[in-house]
Amino acid sequence: MKLLIAYDGSQCSESALDDLTNAGLPETGEALVMSVAEVWMPPPPPSAVEIVEMAVKTEGVLALERKYIPNANVIKNADQMAVRAAARFQARFPRWKIDHEAQWGSPNWELFSKAEDWKADLIVAGSHGRTALGRFFLGSISQWLLNEAHCSVRVARGKVYEPNLPVRLIVGLDGSENARLALEEVASRHWPNNSEAHVVIFDQPLESIIVGDFVPPIRKAFQECNEEENAHSLRIARNAADYLREKGLCAEAIVKVGDPKQGLVRYAEEWRADCIFIGATGLTNRLERFLLGSTAAAVAARAHCSVEVVRKRGRRESPEGNGNGD
């Protein structure tokens, strides 16, 4: 596993580091801690003499900017933050290969570009959405990465962990290929003993139009269709739970009625889940994501626990014929 950790020294990014202890990470892997200084204009150097010296050795304003900024205090501070975070991660995962890096520019694009160039499997970013209003506005770095990155993204939220409580996971399914990958990701991780997983499907039943309420055959047809869909969802959930039990997790199949965007968040809060795993919704462009919304994005924005949105470059063993999805 190649793990890219976005770190800015805030309490949210500290919580994201703490959250990784309950993320089921393997014993070995590669991690890169990256801090990005959000620099829109180069800060002024200490003296005019330095400007002249640099200008003599460079060609053009852009070259001068690129030469000066990496040596500015804001970049040095970002590098120091990355060093501290890397050391903290190394202490908890001693067998991992850890590196750190400081960059300047737009955090969104720098993290996205690094994930692409480095071929990251998972980006970890803290969530700054502490209030309902904050979670409503999806302009944060973590939400941008969730929508745009080509790898999995974990939006991490810290919580008060009580001793002797097992890790609690929710796997949201909908019958799609993307959510099947989320199930496989959970199955591939190394969870502590007695960890619990609930495989959850939310069905949205068909509702008859007004005339159907007065025509018994139509009403009966809708009822039978909904019952058949519920039974199908229950089979999928049970197959997925059996698969996770084979991997050592205490798993349970749950089928509920309602909108998964709201239902998964509510269920996670009631059950006090540590993380929701969900597949990335397969919308093809930004306009579709803006107009239709994404279950993954909505859950990540509103959940009180961590949310990992899974996109997989490769494929792992999966339960035969379960057809699981996000």
Give DSSP secondary structure letters for 206-236.
----GGGGG-HHHHHHHHHHHHHHHHHHHHH
The answer to whether 3 touches 120, Cβ cutoff 8 Å, is yes
Q: What is the pLDDT of residue 275?
A: 95
Residue 257: DSSP 8-state? E
12 pLDDT higher than 80: yes
Q: Is the pLDDT assigned to residue 43 strictly greater than 80?
A: no
Residue 215 clears pLDDT 80, i.e. is over it: no
Please name every residue paired with 95 in a beta bridge, in sequence order, or none if there are none.
Answer: none
Q: Tell me if domain 1-158 and domain 164-326 are identical in fold.
A: yes
Instruction: Say if residue 239's pLDDT is above 70.
Output: yes
Q: Work out the average pLDDT over 87-107.
A: 92
Q: Which two tokens stand for residue 218?
A: 């139509």
Q: What is the CA radius of gyration of the chain?
A: 23
Residue type at 161 in one-letter notation: Y
Whole-number pLDDT of residue 136: 41
Residues 98-125, mean pLDDT to the nearest whole number: 92
Q: What average pLDDT does range 186-210 have in this prediction?
A: 85
Residue 65 scores a pLDDT above 50: yes
Say yes or no to pLDDT of 218 above 80.
no
As a whole number, the mean pLDDT across the chain is 79
Highest average pLDDT, of 136-145, 274-283, 294-303, comes from 294-303
HSE on the CB side for 126, CA within 13 Å? Answer: 21
Fold of 164-326: Rossmann fold (3.40.50)
The pLDDT of residue 236: 93
Mean pLDDT of 267-290: 76
Q: At what angle do helices 48-57 and 61-68 cross, to 10 degrees?
A: 110
Least confident segment among 3-7, 59-63, 292-296, 309-313: 59-63
What phi and psi, each to the nearest 5 degrees, are found at residue 270?
-65, -40
The whole-number pLDDT of residue 292 equals 42
Q: By mean pLDDT, which of 57-66, 189-198, 224-233, 292-301 is the weakest?
A: 57-66
Q: 25-29, 147-151, 205-209 — which is least confidently predicted?
A: 205-209
Domain residue extents for the chain: 1-158, 164-326
Over residues 185-210, the mean pLDDT reads: 86
Identify the pLDDT of residue 324. Answer: 40
78 near 37, Cβ under 8 Å? Answer: yes
Assign a CATH topology to domain 1-158: Rossmann fold (3.40.50)
Cα 113 from chain centre: 17
pLDDT at 51: 57
Q: What does the block give as tokens for 220?
A: 């009966």
The answer, yes or no, to whether residue 201 has pLDDT greater than 90, is: yes
What is the pLDDT at residue 306?
94
SS (H, E, C) 175-205: CCHHHHHHHHHHHHCCCCCCCEEEEEEEECC
Q: Check residue 143 and give its pLDDT.
A: 82
pTM summary value: 0.79
